[in-house]
Amino acid sequence: MSVKLLTYSEHYNNWVKVEDAQYLTQPFYQNCFSKSHKQNVYNEPCYTITKRTEDNPCFHLELGYFIGLDWLEVNKTALHVVSKINDDSQEVDFVNMLFSALKHPDISKDIKELFVVKWDQPTIEISQKQDLLTPFLVVEFLSLLKQIVRKGLKKSYYKVEHNLQGRVKGKIQVSKTIKQNIVKNKNLFTYCSFDEFGINNKENRLLKKALQFIKRYLPTYTKLINHKELQNTFNYINPAFTQVSDIIEISEIKHTKTNVFYKEYEQALYLAKLILKRFGYNISNTVKDKIQSPPFWIDMTKLFELYVLGLLKDRFHNQVKFKFKHYGNELDYLLNNENYQMVIDAKYKLKYINGKHDEDIRQVSGYARLKKVYEDLNKQQSEVIDCLIVHPDQNGFDNLLSADLKGKKIKHYYDVYKLGVKLPLVK
């Protein structure tokens, strides 16, 4: 069955193209991205399509700050949303954004709410060039593996079976000993199972299996094959798994004990399972031109938050706190430096290039009035705390290493500033 794929850019807010409108049979379409927090759960629309009048069958499409792939009508029509900024000639390199953020190990714990995948729905056929989900999973996975390899692979006891000559160890495998040795007149050999301690455990074997899939996949995807840092990361990781087998069944790993020192394993194993599932557990699917992708959404607002966090950490390291929480309030960043004591918010909005958004300014200003913020910054009640809004701007800063965070004041407000940062673009 032929499926019509409608392709648009994120934050599109206009009429559906005439040639696409004929494939829409319902008066209303909408899908929401669920974001979970401890105190509340709220949904934000990824897209909303509305039929305006019966006489004039025009459809209006409003896209949020999400990229992804989803069914409008199952097995008939699908929506594909790609990352763009300013105009259709500039595609945001979200892979580079994610990779840049994940250079800082402590950011990896904040990536869980970046995306949702609808594994329970039918897959959608797209070309590999249109695939957004797989490179996203690959970058996350390799970044976590790099952290794991730096510490050293986790060692533990695991079961092995060996055909031993002239000795017995552990438990004798009677059936295998008879079939493999006694019947063949190899009377000096005994099949035994016993525990060994090392890196060839089930967890590492699952990571190795996913790594083998990625090894086949990387040369086929142009956006990743030209990414030198990503290739260097793979080359750094691969030798550490030389002594690890890739023979493993997913069902063998049901529960993983969390170890404080090896805290990256939980997320890495989760991503390894997603990568294998994404390729249908068949390594030959890694090199196909046409692929079957599950519906999914990636939150670009959250990704921009992590990207800005990475830029701030490049300069201020642990002097910047992320997701500072106090009695239901959660501000993006709190910076406490000898030169800057600021409440900072990241806004993935182009409006700030030539303007402002008063509601955002009221929000960040409200955070700056919290008593806990004053205490952390060691400020007196009579002092005004600076506020900064960081936004995308292709004429802005590549990094924040030498940027003046108070360089551009927002008109009509005291001590509120904005700062534009460049987003990496696909070349």
> How far is it, in rounded angstroms, from Cα 67 to Cα 80?
8
105-114, 216-225, 229-238, 415-424: segment of lowest average pLDDT: 216-225
The pLDDT, as a whole number, for residue 3 is 87
- Write down the pLDDT at residue 358: 87
Least confident residue range of 40-44, 53-57, 205-209, 217-221: 40-44
pLDDT digits (tens, 9 = 90+) for 65-89: 999 999 999 999 999 999 887 655 6
Strand partners, 417: 388, 409
Which stretch of DSSP H or E encloses residue 312? Answer: helix 300-316
- How much is the mean pLDDT over the chain? 86
What is the C-alpha to C-alpha distance for residues 267 and 270, in angstroms, rounded to an integer? 5
Quick: pLDDT tens for 240-268.
999 998 888 877 776 666 666 778 888 88
Q: 61: Cβ–Cβ under 8 A, 6 or more apart, which residues?
A: 8, 12, 13, 14, 15, 16, 47, 48, 49
User: In the numeric block, which tokens belong to residue 381?
Assistant: 């009640």
Give the containing element (helix H, strand E) for 420.
Answer: strand 416-421
How many Å apart are CA 144 and CA 236, to the nearest integer?
A: 12
Q: What are phi and psi of 132, to 5 degrees?
A: -110, -30
Unique residue bearing structure tokens 């990241």 = 346
Instruction: Give the mean model confidence (pLDDT) for residues 362-388.
Output: 89
pLDDT of residue 425: 85
One-character DSSP codes across 146-211:
HHHHHH----EEEEEEEEEES---SEE-HHHHIIIIITTT-TTEEEEEEEEEES-SHHHHHHHHHH
| Tens digit of each residue's pLDDT (9 = 90 or more) over 86-143 | 655 678 888 888 888 888 877 877 777 788 889 889 999 998 888 888 888 998 899 9
* Residue bearing tokens 């790609």: 82
Q: What is the pTM of this model?
A: 0.84
Looking only at the bridges linking them, the beta strands covering 59-63 and 41-51 are antiparallel
> Per-residue pLDDT for 350 more than 60?
yes
Burial class (CB in 10 A: 0-12, 13-18, 19+), 282: exposed
Neighbouring C-beta atoms of residue 412, cutoff 10 Å: 9
Is the per-residue pLDDT at 41 higher than 50? no
Confidence (pLDDT) at 225? 56
What pairs with residue 343 in β-bridges?
A: 334, 387
Report CA-CA distances (Å) from 289 to 130, 239, 262, 292.
Answer: 10, 29, 37, 10
**Domain extents in the chain:** 1-82, 124-155+200-293, 156-198, 301-421
Looking at the predicted structure, is the pLDDT value of residue 36 above 70? no
